[in-house]
Chain A
Amino acid sequence: MDEVGKLLDRPKQYYNIDGLGELGCGILSLGYGLFMWLEMHSPATAIWHKISIFILLGLVMVIHYGTKALKTHVTYPRTGFVEYRKDARLRNLIIGGALGGLTSLTLALSVSHHWDISTLLLLFGPVFAIGYGYAIARAVRWKWVIAAAFALTSVVIAFLPTDFLAILANDSPAAHPVRARIGGTMLISLLTYGALFIVSGGISFWHYLRHTEPAALENL
């Protein structure tokens, strides 16, 4: 990439300069993982099963408005405000929605058709790590450690015994081996990925606060 190309890329990397992007992802993953655990370990008639979609939407809203408020009060007064182009935001939304939809569909089909998707799950981590590396670690070198941890985590999870994953998912490995494996894998992946995002985003936020301060009025 030429120097001008690198400059054109800078605003994209600015979004996570304070680590808030990662913190948002971490809170979403960890929060949804904890809620999933609650759902799996509560009786089928429990209220959690009926309100799961509202909990997820609520969590997304809290993260969206929480990030906005923090950016307004912490980031913009320190290192400036950027409004991204609408076409870029729409493109990201479409890509994110398509990937999320495809993942959900694959998981739903594998449970209903009893497919063994262990290899697919094994591949998910390295692919995710590459995506993370491109989007975030490219700009901050030490985050390649986090990218490697994402890849390693998925490999470790892929080799966990089904019995252990079934205990996590509160399912029967004998009656529903695929469902138990997928449920346990999703749960432990959400929790560990969420924790990794929070650690990485937390360090970035702490570092950002330490090395920046609100700009003087004459610089605005």
Chain B
Amino acid sequence: MKSQIRTIADLDRVIHEPGRLMIAALLFAVEQADFLYLLHETGMNKGTLSSHISRLEEAGYVEVTKTYRGKVPQTLLRLTGAGRKAFTQYRRKLKEAL
């Protein structure tokens, strides 16, 4: 029981927040996706999504690239190596704890 509690306390808090967990899981399954896709899939508003992405970017888990698709601006997001590792560890720890 004690070890389970310790495992829960060890969970990565950056990823553990539900909004960021959603973003990390969606990006984990793909090479990269744009802001609009995440907006559509998560159902969050633009401000909330942006702040979660900024938090993940600060932690070095997400890489953000501003580009253009033709003449239309596009924000591409991908999970970094550290982000993939953190997400995999988070899932493993969560399974152990439950």
Contacts and interface: CB of A to CB of B under 8 A. Distances in A.
A95 to B, nearest CB: 18
B11 interface: no
Contact of B35 (A9, A85, A86, A220): A220
Given A77-B72, A219-B39, A83 B33 contact: yes
A220 B74 contact: yes
Most buried by A among B21, B25, B46, B72: B25
Given A7-B26, A10-B26, A220-B72, A80 B36 contact: yes
Contact of A11 (B33, B34, B73): B33
- Most A Cβ at <10 Å: residue of B29, B40, B69: B29
Interface residues of B, number: 27
A8 interface: yes
A7 B20 CA distance: 12
A63 to B, nearest CB: 22
Interface string A180-220: 00000000000000000000000000000000000101111
Interface residues of A, number: 24
A14 interface: yes
B38 A80 contact: yes
A77 to B, nearest CB: 7
Interface string A142-164: 00000000000000000000000
Given A217-B73, A220-B75, A79 B37 contact: yes
A84 B78 CA distance: 11
B21 A80 contact: no
Nearest to B37: A80
A129 to B, nearest CB: 25
B72 A8 contact: no
Contacts of A83: 30-33
Nearest to B32: A83
A76 interface: yes
Given A4-B91, A7-B26, A219 B46 contact: yes
Nearest to A77: B72
A80 B39 contact: yes
A66 to B, nearest CB: 18
A72 B22 CA distance: 25
A47 interface: no
B41 interface: yes
19 contacts: A4-B25, A7-B22, A7-B25, A8-B29, A10-B41, A11-B30, A14-B37, A76-B34, A79-B40, A80-B40, A80-B41, A81-B34, A83-B33, A85-B31, A215-B39, A219-B46, A220-B34, A220-B35, A220-B72
